[in-house]
């Protein structure tokens, strides 16, 4: 079946969703019917059409076969544009775009850096620009993607964010005194929100040296999902064994955290050192 796609408007992600809905309705197919053909859930099809889910390579290929659109490459081409414009590694986008925005509670631990959700633009730019073979255009895409992530904290239904940060992070120079003073000021400002808690962890805590991670508690009785960092490719999974392991590590790190009433003063003291 071949149906002429309607003129797409907006971002590649929005066009992907709009054309998917247009072709589905033209073919008189329900979201459930398309979901069965894609091998996913109706909710995932709804998110694709609403442009809140990043389509997988398999999604795009199956949609092209289903609708025979643009010679069988329309959705595949749009997906490539989505990937090219998103910024950040492909493996992380599933977390940033499909898990994080829908979480009820996010728990975070980082032994090395200010967590991405709480980074300022200047701090993030310094991190990305110091990466191997960092190109200016790619750095800016990564910075923009990181700033977009922060927007979930501005929503009325913002997730509860519980952040643990190693004390050494406050003194780890990223960019210089101006960048660090601004970053710690933003950390203090964000920690004043009722949905955000920031606790500093004693540097003698050894349980957290294995690396940074996040835990997402999701709605509708969905299993908790974790993201564990690595220099090459992070792991995103809801596998019970891995989730329990990360939960245990989180509790071990939290046992070394200073009270949330004490942590802001610690951050402020270090911020003044950078001023």
- pLDDT category at 170 given cuts 50, 70, 90 is very high
pLDDT, tens only, 176-235: 999 999 999 999 999 999 999 999 999 999 999 989 999 999 988 888 999 887 655 567
Q: What is the mean pLDDT of the chain?
A: 86
pLDDT, mean of residues 238-250: 92
User: Is the pLDDT score of 239 beyond 90?
Assistant: no
- Distance (Å, whole) CA 31 – CA 25: 9
> What percentage of the chain has pLDDT greater than the value 90?
49
Q: What is the pLDDT of residue 223?
A: 87
Q: What is the pLDDT of residue 3?
A: 45
Highest mean pLDDT pick, 23-37, 90-104, 241-255: 241-255
The three-state DSSP-derived secondary structure of the chain is CCCCCCCCCCCHHHHHHHHHHHHHHHCCCCHHHHHHHHCCCHHHHHHHHCCCCCCCHHHHHHHHHHHCHHHHCHHHHHHHHHHHHHCCCHHHHHHHHHHHHHCCEEEEEECCCCCHHHCCHHHHHHHHHCCCCCCHHHHHHHHHHHHHHHHHHHCCCCCEEEEEEEHHHHHCCCCCHHHHHHHHHHHHHHHCCCCEEEEEECCCCCCCCCCCEEEEECCCCCCCEEEECCCCCCEEECCHHHHHHHHHHHHHHHCCECCCCCHHHHHHHHHHHHC
pLDDT, mean of residues 18-38: 90
What's the distance, Cα to Cα, between the start and end of the chain in Å?
65
User: Is the pLDDT score of 86 beyond 70?
Assistant: no
- pLDDT category at 39 given cuts 50, 70, 90 is confident
pLDDT, mean of residues 146-150: 90
- Distance (Å, whole) CA 209 – CA 232: 17
Nearest to 77 by CA among 96, 92, 63: 63
Q: What is the pLDDT of residue 167?
A: 97
- The whole-model pTM stands at 0.69
- Between residues 131 and 46, the one the model is more confident about: 46
From residue 147, give the alpha-carbon distance in Å to each of 12, 88, 89, 156: 19, 12, 15, 18
Domains detected in the chain = 12-86 (1.10.260.40), 90-274 (3.30.870)
Contact status, residue 221 vs residue 76, Cβ threshold 8 Å:
no
Nearest to 227 by CA among 240, 246, 249, 208: 246
Q: What is the pLDDT of residue 1?
A: 46
pLDDT, tens only, 88-122: 555 466 677 778 888 999 999 999 999 999 999 99
Q: 64-78, 80-94, 96-110: which range is least confident on average? A: 80-94
Contact status, residue 254 vs residue 246, Cβ threshold 8 Å:
no
Q: 10-19, 40-49, 73-82, 87-96: which range is least confident on average? A: 87-96
């Amino acid at each position: 079946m071949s149906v002429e796609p309607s003129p797409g408007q907006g971002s590649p992600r929005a066009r992907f969703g709009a054309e998917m809905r247009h072709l589905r309705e033209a073919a008189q197919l329900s979201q459930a019917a398309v979901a069965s053909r894609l091998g996913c859930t109706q909710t995932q099809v709804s998110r694709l059409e609403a442009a809140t889910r990043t389509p997988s390579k398999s999604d795009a290929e199956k949609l092209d076969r289903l609708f025979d659109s643009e010679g069988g490459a329309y959705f595949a081409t749009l997906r490539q544009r989505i990937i090219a414009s998103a910024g950040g590694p492909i493996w992380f986008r599933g977390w940033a775009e499909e898990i994080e925005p829908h979480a009820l509670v996010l728990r975070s631990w980082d032994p090395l850096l200010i967590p991405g959700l709480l980074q300022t633009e200047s701090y993030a730019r310094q991190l990305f620009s110091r990466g191997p073979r960092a190109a200016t255009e790619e750095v800016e895409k990564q910075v923009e993607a990181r700033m977009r992530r922060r927007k979930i904290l501005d929503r009325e239904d913002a997730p509860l964010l519980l952040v643990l940060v190693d004390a050494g992070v406050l003194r780890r120079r990223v960019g210089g005194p101006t960048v660090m003073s601004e970053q710690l000021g933003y950390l203090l400002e964000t920690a004043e929100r009722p949905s955000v808690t920031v606790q500093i962890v004693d540097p003698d805590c050894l349980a957290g040296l294995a690396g940074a991670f996040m835990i997402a508690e999701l709605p509708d009785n969905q299993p908790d999902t974790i993201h564990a960092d690595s220099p090459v490719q992070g792991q995103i999974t809801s596998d019970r064994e891995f989730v329990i392991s990360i939960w245990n590590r989180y509790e071990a790190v939290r046992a070394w955290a200073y009270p949330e009433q004490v942590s802001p003063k610690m951050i402020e003291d270090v911020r003044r050192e950078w001023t």
